[in-house]
Structure 1
Amino acid sequence: MITKSGGEYPYLMEGFGPVLAYLYSWTTVIVLKPSGFAIIALSCAEYASTPFYPGCTPPQVITKCLAAACILIITVVNCLSVKLAFRVQNFFTAAKLLIIFVIVVSGIVLLAQGNTQNFEDSFTGASTSFGAIGLAFYNGLWAYDGWNQLNFITEELKNPYRNLPLAIIIGIPLVTVCYILVNIAYFSVMTPVELLQSPAVAVTFGDRVLYPLSWVVPLFVVFSTFGAANGSCFTAGRLTYAAGREGHVVRILSYISVKHLTPAPALMFNGILSIIYIIPGDINTLINFFSFAKWFFYGLTCAALIVMRFTRKELHRPVKIPIIIPIVVVIVSCYLVLAPIIDKPEIEYLYCTVFIVGGLLLYVPFIHFKFNWTRHIMRPLTMHLQLLLEVVPPEKIK
């Protein structure tokens, strides 16, 4: 219905106006996208370093340096060429599917041999509190996150009316089936405690099942996470570009490289923030912080779909779904946002809320009232960055 790039950003803009769209872009550009990039890069680095430290956890300094190198390489690739970024994505997606196939087949063989003891009394000792279930969903749903990534590049898709729904219909069930089967395979050789204690679960699985070819597993998992990080970087640049085009972030972030036709400033900005988030953060803290804000905006986006059923009746709707579906998603989003806070209030949630609302301190003077601050501060900075990066406004690209 809305064929604009930027994921939830244009949907919130059309449904609720510029304020909520700005708060989304503010939160996502500054925190959510770079922190997601950092999380995946840290996962990639853990799997890359674990084989070199058998029997112990790799030093944090090694993991974080590898993660920073991963972010740097991916950012450079995406700045150089859109086609190169797509080729990287295709290669690493193929590698991901290959290792998933190997793990799933190995798991099926083990289950056929009778290794089912870890599935007996599976929920013994599990917590079923109101908030604990919400936190469990945070971590589980984060693993599936990415189902909305194509919506960040809608303007670059050929025939989005056909290809976007088709990709979603094929992609989400495929990912769901693969993920569940891989986890079943893990439980065929590891107990829940062993899974929790393992710094890299696939490496442990490979050591027990595929020896002496166990080195194949961490290698392909590195490929998999590297590809996921590449996809995160690619879409983050498009959101920042779309927000800059609307004037919700500094204009330089919407500029395009003259040589490579990529949103280089937006990609570099996202990469720099991601490296900063690597320095103090650990994966679990980042996931919880990421999921709390993410599902807040997911709920708002589906609420926008409901609102536009009544406020934008004239829009062409190439894909129609029963309104009960977005209503259910809004209810689930409210639960995922509120349940952990009610059950176990923590200061991180307050920080997150203050940060989101704090974006209004910039929106009111500089965007709503259009306070002219560019003449003395941003204009010379933009000029120097244009010369350094060889970028121009998107309307100058023909």
Structure 2
Amino acid sequence: MTQQITLERRWQETDVTPERSASAQNNNGTSAARGDKLCAADHGDKVQNVEEKPKVELKKKVTLLRGISIIIGTIIGAGIFISPKGILSHSGSVGMSLIVWIACGVLSLFGALCYAELGTCIKKSGGHYTYIMEAFGPQMAFIRLWSDLIAIRPAGMAVISLAFGQYILEPLFMPCHIPPMAVKLATAIGITSVMYLNSMSVTWTARIQIVLTISKLLAIALIIVPGLYQLFKGETQNFENAFVMSNVKLSGMPLAFYSGMYAYAGWFYLNFVTEEVTNPEKTVPLAICISMAIVTACYVLANVAYYTVMTAEELLDSDAVAVTFAEKLFGKFSIVVPLFVALSCFGSMNGCIFALSRMFYVASREGQLPSVLSMIHIRKNTPLAAVLIMYPMTMLQLFVGDIYSLLNFMSFLRWLFIGVVVLGLIYLRYKKPDLPRPFKVPLFIPVIFCLTCFFMVFLSLYSDPFNTGIGFVISLTGLPAYYILLHFNRRPQWIQRTFDSINRSLQILLEVVPADQ
């Protein structure tokens, strides 16, 4: 009962509208004095005790180690364990595939360095959304937000979660086929547990992310160390004639780079939580550089290890490369590989939810999503509503949607908007030359990376115009949504009152309030 009264009082002091919040501050003289003032008289003297409640806000709890775990934990998912054959099939030879892995790591580092500059000069969370907002305005930022909210992020989360459900059940059903409904149920449990974890504690979310990142690095070490041991023993026959150019086709190289850049995607997630990073001017660039060096080394060495045991033909025929590798070297012990893959997928799910919730939090703070999404739980200090917003869409797509087709439609949009963000960096160099830039990259780095992104977009238009066109149509629905939802001045009062009532009810139900300033 006391908790309910306290929440009601907090609601009255901090309404969802900025106007009422501002007027409350003016009337009370300050918004910081939310504690109860307790007065007592002793022998005629008045003694005033002020018990201040802790601030309701997102704390700066992302240290360098946690930042590295967020980046590595979201980049390394199931791909390196399951199907690195996409690069091999398009590059045409073992040697060229290794060069593509290294080149994609360098290009991804270029993009990460560009985001490091943006993260140190624009110290707001939100990632792509915030940077597009700063450079090109709210309309372009909303289109990116709309695409993420209705399609890209729920579908991406459902896909990586399905990989988790598949591999967590693999040891229980081997060698039988896993029923599809069992996979979806395990996937639903995984999604729910990740959402619950991110809703309850930022600290435990970060700690578990560190543990999961270490576990996936150990899993890769189980591949790299035995593979290099085989290499030092002289198992080099699969590297003979590694650069034979007979099967190399220039037309396939862009597709190989496209697959490689997709495998490295995730280096931008630390920028989604910039406001929670301790000393972001140093932590963000350092975490990005360390993470990209580790990921690139792991990817290249893992592929070298694969080729010490498997020929190129065996790798192309395998549905799960790491499992085939383990079966050849470890025998029955290979059953642990699916568990490591499942843990790797769970780490990617956890990191994605942690970062993406901050984008919705910032978008709400900018007035482009319902205001309840920018509120913080009164005890947990987590953006509870922003964490939960993707849950219904993800579950819907998991059980009724054609997820993989949707990802085909939308995959090129990732690189389109990342290219727009880096173009915005170049534009801000001229638009706001006096903006403080504690970390500044040479101009050729954003130019090369921006051209790479737009080249991959053009490649998508050329290779698959139908699906790419559908993706454009889905994203362009953000234009009417922008004007209808945000600029419809003649909305009937009863609709507005309904929205306000829903917003207020959710605030009370979730026990969230606006963050203290």
Q: How big is each residue's C-alpha offset from its partner over 1:286-313, in whole Å with a ceiling of 9 and x where there is no partner?
A: 5544431100000000000111111111
Q: Which residue of 2 aligns with 1:93?
A: 213
1:188 aligned to which of 308, 318, 329: 308
Letter in 2 for 1:138: Y
Percent identical residues: 39
Partners in 1 of 2:198 and 2:206 — Cα distance? 9
Q: How big is each residue's C-alpha offset from its partner over 1:343-376, in whole Å with a ceiling of 9 and x where there is no partner?
A: 3423x21221011111111111332455546624
Q: Which residue of 2 aligns with 1:366?
A: 485
* Contiguous gaps of at least 5 residues in structure 1: none
Q: How does 1:10-21 map to 2 (within 5 A)?
A: 10-21=130-141
Does 25-34 or 331-340 show the bigger shift? Answer: 25-34
Q: Which residue of 2 aligns with 1:209?
A: 329
RMSD of Structure 2 on Structure 1 (CA): 2.4
2:460, 2:468 within 8 Å by CA — same for their partners in 1? Answer: no
1:138, 1:291 within 8 Å by CA — same for their partners in 2? Answer: no
Partners in 1 of 2:157 and 2:237 — Cα distance? 37
2:372 aligned to which of 252, 270, 294: 252
Partners in 1 of 2:235 and 2:490 — Cα distance? 67
1:57, 1:199 within 8 Å by CA — same for their partners in 2? Answer: no
Task: Determine if the alignment matches structure 1 residue 377 to structure 2 residue 498.
Answer: yes
Task: Determine if the alignment matches structure 1 residue 6 to structure 2 residue 129.
Answer: no
Please state how far the C-alpha of 1:121 moved relative to its aligned partner.
5.5
Q: How does 1:154-165 map to 2 (within 5 A)?
A: 154-165=274-285
2:508 aligned to which of 375, 380, 387: 387
Q: Which residue of 1 aligns with 2:229?
A: 109
SS in 2 for 1:256: strand
Partners in 1 of 2:270 and 2:380 — Cα distance? 21
Structure 1's 56 and 286: CA in aligned 2 closer, same or farther, altered over 3 A?
Answer: farther
Partners in 2 of 1:176 and 1:163 — Cα distance? 20
2:412, 2:460 within 8 Å by CA — same for their partners in 1? Answer: no
Task: Determine if the alignment matches structure 1 residue 67 to structure 2 residue 181.
Answer: no
1:75, 1:233 within 8 Å by CA — same for their partners in 2? Answer: yes
2:123, 2:274 within 8 Å by CA — same for their partners in 1? Answer: yes
Please state how far the C-alpha of 1:262 moved relative to its aligned partner.
0.9
Q: How does 1:21-32 map to 2 (within 5 A)?
A: 21-32=141-152
Please state how far the C-alpha of 1:243 moved relative to its aligned partner.
0.8
Q: How big is each residue's C-alpha offset from its partner over 1:21-69, in whole Å with a ceiling of 9 and x where there is no partner?
A: 1111111222222222222212222222333444565333222222221
Structure 1's 283 and 369: CA in aligned 2 closer, same or farther, altered over 3 A?
Answer: closer
Task: Determine if the alignment matches structure 1 residue 352 to structure 2 residue 471.
Answer: yes
Q: Which residue of 1 aligns with 2:437?
A: 317
1:366, 1:372 within 8 Å by CA — same for their partners in 2? Answer: no
Please state how far the C-alpha of 1:82 moved relative to its aligned partner.
0.6
Partners in 1 of 2:185 and 2:310 — Cα distance? 30
Partners in 2 of 1:138 and 1:268 — Cα distance? 32
Structure 1's 343 and 214: CA in aligned 2 closer, same or farther, altered over 3 A?
Answer: closer
Q: How does 1:238-277 map to 2 (within 5 A)?
A: 238-277=358-397
Q: How does 1:34-53 map to 2 (within 5 A)?
A: 34-53=154-173
Please state how far the C-alpha of 1:211 moved relative to its aligned partner.
2.5
SS in 1 for 2:299: helix
Does 260-269 or 57-66 show the bigger shift? Answer: 57-66
SS in 1 for 2:298: helix
Task: Determine if the alignment matches structure 1 residue 33 to structure 2 residue 191.
Answer: no
1:139, 1:288 within 8 Å by CA — same for their partners in 2? Answer: no
Q: How big is each residue's C-alpha offset from its partner over 1:70-126, in whole Å with a ceiling of 9 and x where there is no partner?
A: 111100000011111011101111111112112100111222334344445667885
Q: How big is each residue's C-alpha offset from its partner over 1:137-159, in whole Å with a ceiling of 9 and x where there is no partner?
A: 33322221110010000000010
2:309, 2:325 within 8 Å by CA — same for their partners in 1? Answer: yes
Does 319-328 or 286-295 show the bigger shift? Answer: 286-295
Partners in 2 of 1:279 and 1:136 — Cα distance? 32
1:5, 1:155 within 8 Å by CA — same for their partners in 2? Answer: yes
